Homo-oligomer: A and B are copies of this chain.
Amino acid sequence: MPARALLNGEPAPASAFDDRACHFGDGLFETIAIRKGQPALWDWHWERLQLGCQRLGLGPPSATLLEQEVQYLCNGLERGILKIVLGAGKANAGYVRDPQAPPTRWLRASAWPDAHPWATTIPLTVVSCRLRLASQPRLAGIKHLNRLEQVLARAELPEGVDEGILCDREGRVIEAISANLLVRMGERWITPPLTECGVAGTVRRQLLERGPALGIRVAEDAFDLDELRSADAIYLTNALLGIRPVARIDDRELPAPVRDEKLEILHRSCFTFSGELSCKE
């Protein structure tokens, strides 16, 4: 008997909606800023994707093939967003992967969302979320497709709030829902360690790797919500935001960010292909 399927009430081939990404969240993704026809911070995105494949036991896509597809979609786009989803391929009956089924590569280039608060340069408003991130070292750091915690946390945000701060169950601050945290406490720059949960973002990596050349040394160190609320400055970082100041967390207004030329150089570098530092505006 051949399998029969219905998709929203209509007969559908059993192959529709058939990827392990849809059944188990078995796969990875990347969200990449496109600037001047190029995927920004490409090396960090590609390295994280490879690390994710290794952790999930997926064969990584051919670098050449993926780069060709990325270039095809970025070509001619002055500003845009590239999303890559790497699904674990055709689903069979259960959790065992079919070793013959190749992974699914889905890439989409879309317009830069000029109207979205994220696309502006306005400092962000954040609140702390009630949801606590579960600790799972086997999945920490990689950008996998099991994102229900983020979906639930996002649903907590009141209208007009841009982002939510997530802690683990021990009360350690980990990240924002879709961004990492860069925090200034006195003379120190700090970002939370991500060995138990959280996504190791590409801009976070840019800060850790390229910051020292500018004298910005970011330490991975744990802190709690009270410490975050009393920080001297808070920034959210991700591939679309770059490095963006936070204006308010819960009931506390933060001081207007002091202009920091080094941070601006790092911010701009996050929207270039290679991430190389350049002092030109």
Indicate whether A54 reaches chain B with its CB closer than 8 angstroms: no
Q: Which residue of B17, B109, B169 is within 8 Å of A85 (Cβ)?
A: B17
Pick from A37-45, A144-152, A216-224, A242-250 the stretch touching chain B.
A144-152
Residues of B near A169 (CB, < 8 A) are: 135
Interface string of A1-31 (1 = CB under 8 A from B): 1011111110010101101111111100100
Interface residues in A135-167 by Cβ distance below 8 A to B read 135-136, 138-139, 144-155
**Residue in A57, A110, A134, A152 with the greatest tally of chain B CB atoms within 10 Å:** A134
Q: Are A24 and B147 in contact (CB under 8 A)?
A: yes
Number of interface residues of A (CB under 8 A): 71
Residues of B near A149 (CB, < 8 A) are: 136, 138-139
Q: Are B152 and A56 in contact (CB under 8 A)?
A: yes
Q: How far is the CB of A224 from chain B (nearest CB, A)?
A: 19
Q: Are B1 and A73 in contact (CB under 8 A)?
A: no
- Closest-by-CB residue of B relative to A12 is B106
Which residues of A are interface residues toward B (Cβ below 8 A)? 1, 3-9, 12, 14, 16-17, 19-26, 29, 56-57, 65, 69, 72-73, 77, 80-81, 85, 87-88, 93-97, 102, 104-111, 113, 116, 131, 134-136, 138-139, 144-155, 169, 177-178, 197
Q: What are 10 A-B residue pairs whose CB atoms fall within 8 Å in the complex?
A: A5-B106, A9-B69, A23-B145, A24-B147, A25-B25, A88-B151, A93-B116, A94-B178, A95-B153, A95-B178
